[in-house]
Amino acid sequence: MMQHILDRSWAEEKVTSAVKHALAYGADEAAAELSLSSSSLSRFAASRIIDNVQRNSISLRLAVSVGKRECLLQSDVTNGSSIETLCRRCVENAQMFDVNDEHLPPVTHNTVQSINAFDPEVADLDPRDKAHIIADITCNSSKQGMTAFGAFKDSVMVTAVANSSGVLAYYPETEVGFSLTARTPDGTGSGREERAETWLSALDPYAISNIAMDRAAKSKAPREMPPGDYTVILTPRAAAAYLAMMLWSMDAKMVETGRSPFSRFWANNQLIDSPVFSENVTLYSDLSDTAIPVRPFGPAFSFEGSAGQSPVVTAFSMGLPVRDSVLIDKGVMRRLMNSYSWAIKKGIQPEGYPNVLKFAGTDMSLDEMVGSTDRGILVTSLWYIRWVDPNDLLLTGLTRDGTFYIENGKIQFPIKNFRFNESPLVSLKNIECIGQVEKIKQWGFTLAMPVMKCNNFTFSSISDAI
């Protein structure tokens, strides 16, 4: 069926057909979502391509209700008889399940913005084109005495939705990404960099590889420094790995019922109207940004997952328009994310969940930020991040792939990696300045994340990993 991946009429016919057949088999309400993707991945290691994989996938999800009894099923076959079978079984199963007292009907038709997130150049990208680029980059890494590992991937994705309340929406999008990890022969130096973009013209694999190899060369023979509290500069990738876990706690139901670390900022049935973070911190969604497109519709999906609502209710909210919104404005929390059921319970107009969130940045480059630092540490990457205390958003993790000591506005030498124990709630208060923004995919989020400098970041111990 992948020949139909960009055939809008075919995709819309499949989801409307599923809804129609579900109603014919006895469903009172129905919603269908068709997901199509065609992706190509070229992985390389030791200066040669080791995998060249093409993957096509198709998924049709159907949610139905019979009264307040619900069911959701999924199939990867979309011919006429298979859709009818899916609909019949979904309705039959729903009749056997318990009543959901929190059942909600499918959302009604709403006008959504027309947003272009499809790049024909990505869709036409040939594996041979990627192979030539990989060959150039791995040849260059060998000349510099380094071993290069990485991946070059591209994908075309389509989402089509329909429901029994009149929703019909379609959205094609593309993505292209490149990553490279460079290692020095002595095993003491490592550098990594990666990007994921909607538009092929925005991706520069050569620049990405040069950054990774430069960091690897500069990180050889690291020195040991004592753990403690330091001013740190986090690259966008390091900042995204650290801050993305915070987003899961910004669910309205969790906050209002006292189960989130952000509950301390909720009083008198509203968010407190005073700064809780540095005035440098602004988090928002922006549908007008053509460089990082936001899908114009979605489910009212919260950061707590389903937020207590059933998967069917989540599916019934698919198709809600996404609106521009500000979650944090100059350090003041302005909005939380509501699931469909919680929004209705609180009398709030439900909205689609934005699949892209942006932290506001500035024109300051990473080099300029280093130049403005008297004494600190540059962290280029964080990994193996885990919870220590969810009540305070306290996290632990490790630096990797190039960590450097800064003094008098210059990188002085590489240092051994640290384990950190710190909370984004503290770090976002201690931000001194922020810089240029990059698109980062992390922990299930697509983020526009700036380079940032924050004070009193706690490193608790030394790590010998590179």
**pLDDT of 80 over the 90 cut:** no
Q: What is the pLDDT of residue 307?
A: 57
> Mean pLDDT in the chain?
94
255: in domain: no
Q: Could you tell me if 113 and 236 lie in one domain?
A: no
- Note whether residue 193 is domain-resident: yes
Q: Are residues 122 and 228 in the same domain?
A: no
What is the helix (H) or strand (E) element at residue 443, kind and residue range? none
Task: Judge if 190 and 233 occupy the same domain.
Answer: no
Structural domain span for residue 163: 2-207
Q: Is residue 69 part of a domain?
A: yes
| Residue (of 122, 163, 9, 13) closest to 78 by Cα position | 13
C-alpha 46/C-alpha 372 separation (Å) is: 38
Nearest in space to 452 (alpha carbons), one of 230, 211, 236, 194: 236
Looking at residue 168, which CATH number applies to its domain?
3.30.2290.10
In this predicted structure, what is the pLDDT of residue 308? 65
Q: How confident is the model at residue 306 (pLDDT cuts 50, 70, 90)?
A: low
- Is 289 within the bounds of a domain? no
Residue 387 lies in a domain: yes
Quickly list DSSP for 139-160. HHHHHTT-EEEEEEEEEEEEEE
pLDDT higher than threshold 80 for residue 167: yes
Is residue 6 scored above 90 in pLDDT? no
pLDDT band, residue 3 (cuts 50/70/90) = low
Tokens encoding 176: 């292209």
Q: What is the helix (H) or strand (E) element at residue 418, kind and residue range?
A: strand 417-422
Question: Is there a single domain that holds both residue 183 and residue 240?
Answer: no
Residue 302 has pLDDT above 80, yes or no: no
Task: Quote the pLDDT of residue 2.
Answer: 55
- The whole-angstrom separation of Cα 63 and Cα 103 is 12
What distance in Å separates the CA atoms of residue 127 and residue 52, rounded to the nearest whole number?
Answer: 8
- One domain for residues 175 and 235: no
Q: Say yes or no: 167 and 233 in one domain.
A: no
Q: Residue 410: is its pLDDT beyond 80?
A: yes
Domain co-membership, 91 together with 224: no
Number of compact structural domains in the chain: 2
Each residue of 101-121: pLDDT tens digit?
999 999 998 888 999 999 999
Q: Which of 87-96, 267-276, 295-304, 411-420 bottoms out in mean pLDDT, i.e. has the lowest?
A: 295-304
Look at residues 179, 207, 235 and tell me which one is the last residue of a structural domain.
207
pLDDT at 212: 97
Query: 178, 207, 236: which is the final residue of a domain?
Result: 207
Distance CA 177, CA 34 (A): 24
Is the same domain home to 64 and 89? yes
User: For 426-466, how does the pLDDT look when each residue is reduced to its tens digit (9 = 90+)?
Assistant: 999 999 999 999 999 887 789 999 999 999 999 999 998 88
Q: Do both 152 and 231 map to the same domain?
A: no
Write down which residue in 186, 207, 228 finishes a domain: 207
Which amino acid does the sequence have at 329? Answer: D
Q: In this structure, is residue 254 part of a structural domain?
A: no
- Answer yes or no: do 232 and 174 share one domain: no
Rounded to whole angstroms, the Cα distance separating 187 from 222 reads 11
